[in-house]
Structure 1
């Protein structure tokens, strides 16, 4: 039970996701296994601690999104620093590499927090409505965590409908040592669990939270639906993407969510970063001066070249910034700041000591998910798919308006949507997942080699520590 006590104490000192200044935790040194769920106040703190478990520096505090982006073609490594994900960038990770081990550990710790919360709240002294809500929040976070892991450590679902080895599915709380041995479920089983968690979350999360900050930083019904559009897109299940997206996207422009939180595109791309809580920011992890991801973890450190950043990764001149379809007058170009003759992404500008929020799900992504899914599902140049594309492009580039006649084939439309994803979602963690779900090879960039979809480096190895302690786990082939 020692591990649970430590976990409970850690959860209680984490700064609240909903009010980073006002949290006054009870004396955590007096919390035991028996009374961790004894009061509504402690339970609320444990819920907030579950969010904080996912947003640590080694997970969504910055590293995970950077891993997913620097594997792709858009960035060049400037520092040759082994601490800041160099091995991920140049496809040199091994089972014992820190990146591989630390992400796995952080994610499974977060998952266990969710499992403890799901189990403990069953008999907690709160209303049935709160029990359902807290469970749903934990299920959302667990789904996000498992989905994030499976996109790096396993073959894409689209390769073979998920028959490849996936992850150990740990769904019960671990409160003591032992119970390490667990086989790897298939990719299909992992995705099945993710969808089950998100379906349950959708059914039990509130339609809205109390204010704009909570609507951005704590899950509500639309949050679960939005994540399902991403998950189904990764699975290549395009009709399901359409079904889910239609719940939160109106049939015609201007697009917005018809029920629940009134999610919609912000009028200006410039307003959605920083500590933004616009209706476009469906889900973000918040940070403050009292709640930071840690040194050399934050997105501002990786990408920003000003005094507040570390200038670790510049934009590849041969990447998306070289695409002539991305006009110089496009407002999104203003994020690409040239320093020393090289361009850097300045979507994050606050210092590491008081970091910007990390945007996990934006409404723009949902619109692009839906546009692509419609084009693929109908195999046509569908007018609504074009309108969704225009909504995202037009927000930053009013001079470009696509029509159905702009595309000779459905594939032409799909290609344009994929280009738009690379522009709109640059440095937000989508590069590697998009390449893998589409069955593409990773192109060479700088000194980093090209990696084919049959190469062992195409996916990460299972960490050495997992193999040492879990005798039923097996390594990915070739590692």
Structure 2
């Protein structure tokens, strides 16, 4: 009898196991499901998915660390020589400033996470358009434009990550380790181990995305705000110019920049491209670029914010780091290094970039920039691409290929002259093309203070990162600290990746 009872119990256990064996492999309640058709079920929902790429992806809002809402620009500047840190706060970049980051530093973890979050969003959107969205939109031209915008976001994100986590293209002509090249959307938990592609392979993908996007995105939008916050054809070309300059492909820089820079007028009008293209141009007064409504023709691409509803987030905004004017200061964690761009005797006191965009604290003589001058909640728009950058990139490319060239000098004078009419460069000022290119790089140093380009300019030309006072030593190109290490989270979960 006992044997019979035990057998019945055993069978019951087995049956119970067979009925509940799914409990051994439960469906995750937190994983992202496969892209549902509902997300692309109406034209409005398709557009919402697209705009989300710019919001939670590029700007970095929605619970993730900031990206282009400010921190990328901050790190690209404070890693170089133009700033002195006052706080020592590791959460707000002191490790980057002091060249002391490691695999678990806040910025190393968060920028990697946010960059790949933006890339994954773009990948999922491109796949969603192929599966559902193109049919829903029922307009092949518009659908292609949407996909082009997603490719712009993916290209910008990969480019940004390369500048921090990989060696410059000039070091080995792109042969050094780059990044994991992820081109499919990750929607569920799975094995995503992936080795690093080379720097050149990542750049190849960036240019592929941008070339395809240039053909497909819209020439212009219906408002100045949309022309500043969504990728149109000039936006794509401007980013391509930056990418090619970073690669040292100067002849290609000239080809691309000439699409949106007139021969003598230095504006992007209908005469330099298809009718309807955005007429990008320098502002007569540079201060206007950084003041409401932030939608000048010089602002090719910016990340927008609205006080009270769409804020850049705690400790993310540019004004939080750089702004002070005596009466309504930001936190002002960084002020201008007296031995940096400020020490250039050719940057005159009457230059509008000093009179209109800097403030000197009379108590301690510290100089701050006032480009971003809105206090908490810091709704200043964050600039990503400006037309003045395209002009100076073109000027440098011409100087490096044609020497002391009249058009390169004229482009340099266009940017300097709108802020300092008393300085006019001539061919006599430069002994050769290298000297002219150096002057252009220094003009970029002044023009883009606080906008995140300085460290890129140093690295793409394989220059030593200068010391910052007696506190932070110079970093030569051979120093491992020249670039950031790979994110510790990626090293933990990706078994195929190798650290820098």
TM-score, normalization: structure 1?
0.92
1:54 partnered with 2:71: no
1:188 corresponds to: 200
Q: Which among 446, 449, 455 is matched to residue 479 of structure 2?
A: 455
SS at match of 2:39: coil
Residue of structure 1 equivalent to 2:358: 336
Q: Secondary structure at the match of 2:237?
A: helix
448, 453, 465: which one pairs with 2:489?
465
1:173 corresponding residue in structure 2: 185
Q: Please state whether the residue corresponding to 1:266 is helix, strand or coil.
A: coil
Q: Could you say what secondary structure the match of 1:388 adopts?
A: helix
Once residues 42 and 267 of structure 1 are traced to their aligned partners in structure 2, the CA distance between those partners, rounded to angstroms, is 40
Q: In the aligned structure 1, how far is the partner of 2:157 from the partner of 2:494?
A: 20
Q: CA RMSD in A?
A: 1.5
Cα separation, 1, equivalents of 2:437 and 2:96 = 29
1:405 shift after superposition: 2.3
Is the CA contact 1:253–1:387 (under 8 Å) kept in the aligned structure 2? no
1:144 aligns with 2:156: yes
Distance 1:163 1:358, change over 3 A: same
**Does structure 1 conserve the Cα–Cα contact (< 8 Å) formed by 2:220 and 2:278?**
yes
- 1:220-267 Cα offsets, whole Å, 9 max, x none, are 001000111100000000000000000000011354342311111111
Name the residue aligned to 2:279.
262
Question: Is residue 251 of structure 2 the alignment partner of residue 239 of structure 1?
Answer: yes
- Check whether the contact 1:5–1:33 (CA below 8 A) recurs between aligned residues: no
Distance in 2 (alpha carbons) for counterparts of 1:305 and 1:244 = 38
Cα deviation, residue 104, structure 1:
0.3
Q: Which residue, 312, 317, 333 being the options, matches 2:338? A: 317
Q: 1:16-95 to 2 correspondence within 5 Å?
A: 33-52=36-55, 53-56=57-60, 58-95=66-103
Is the alpha carbon distance of 1:355 and 1:35 closer, same or farther for their aligned partners in structure 2, counting shifts above 3 Å? same
After superposition, residues 342-421 of structure 1 pair within 5 angstroms as: 342-378=366-402, 380-421=403-444
User: Residue 264 of structure 2: SS of its match in structure 1?
Assistant: coil
- Superposition deviation, residue 80 in structure 1: 1.2
Query: Is the Cα–Cα contact under 8 Å of residues 32 and 188 in structure 2 kept in the other structure?
Result: no
Deviation at 1:305, TM superposition (A): 2.0
The answer on whether the counterparts of 1:308 and 1:352 sit within 8 Å (CA) in structure 2 is: no
State the SS of the aligned residue for 1:93. Answer: coil
- In the alignment, the residues of structure 2 paired with residue 305 and residue 280 of structure 1 have an alpha-carbon distance, to the nearest angstrom, of 25
Matched, 1:298 2:317: yes
* Contact 2:399 2:436 survives alignment (8 Å): yes
Cα distance in structure 2, aligned partners of 1:432 and 1:209: 33
> Which of 111, 128, 131 matches 2:140?
128
Matches within 5 A, 1:223-238: 223-238=235-250
SS at match of 1:462: coil
Partner of 1:197: 209
Q: Deviations over 1:410-430 (max 9, x none)?
A: 122111101100111111001
Q: Is the 8 A contact 2:312 2:378 kept in 1?
A: no
Shift of 1:366: 0.2
Question: 1:208 touches 1:220 (CA, 8 Å); kept in 2?
Answer: yes
Larger radius of gyration: 2
User: What's the offset of the Cα at 1:3?
Assistant: 6.5
Distance 1:110 1:383, change over 3 A: same
Q: Which one is further off, 252-261 or 383-392?
A: 252-261
Q: Distance in 1 between matches of 2:330 and 2:190?
A: 42
Residue equivalent to 1:274: 291
Contact 1:180 1:470 in 2 (8 A): yes
Contact 2:319 2:378 in 1 (8 A): no
How far is 1:2 from its partner?
A: 6.3
Identify unmatched segments of 5+ residues in structure 1. 9-31
Separation in structure 2 between the aligned mates of residue 61 and residue 277 of structure 1, nearest angstrom = 16
SS at match of 1:413: helix
TM, length-normalised to structure 2: 0.88
1:4–1:352: structure 2 CA closer, same or farther, 3 Å change rule? farther
Map Cα deviations across residues 314-366 of structure 1 (whole Å, 9 max, x no partner): 00000011110101110001212112320011100112325111110000000
Q: Aligned equivalents of 2:96 and 2:38: distance in 1?
A: 43
Distance in 1 of aligned mates of 2:254 and 2:45: 40
CA–CA distance in 1 between the matches of 2:143 and 2:193? 30
Contact persistence 2:302–2:381 (CA under 8 A): yes
- Residue 286 of structure 1 pairs with residue 310 of structure 2: no
Q: 1:211 aligns with which of 223, 233, 251?
A: 223
- Structure 1 residue 406: deviation in Å? 2.3
Measured in 1, the distance between the counterparts of 2:306 and 2:421 equals: 35
Secondary structure of 2:290's partner? coil
Deviations 1:43-77 (A, max 9, x none): 11111100011112521111111111001110000
1:369 & 1:309 partners in 2: Cα distance?
32
Q: 1:98 aligns with which of 101, 106, 109?
A: 106
Deviation at residue 34 of structure 1 after TM alignment: 3.6
Secondary structure at 2:390's aligned position in 1? helix
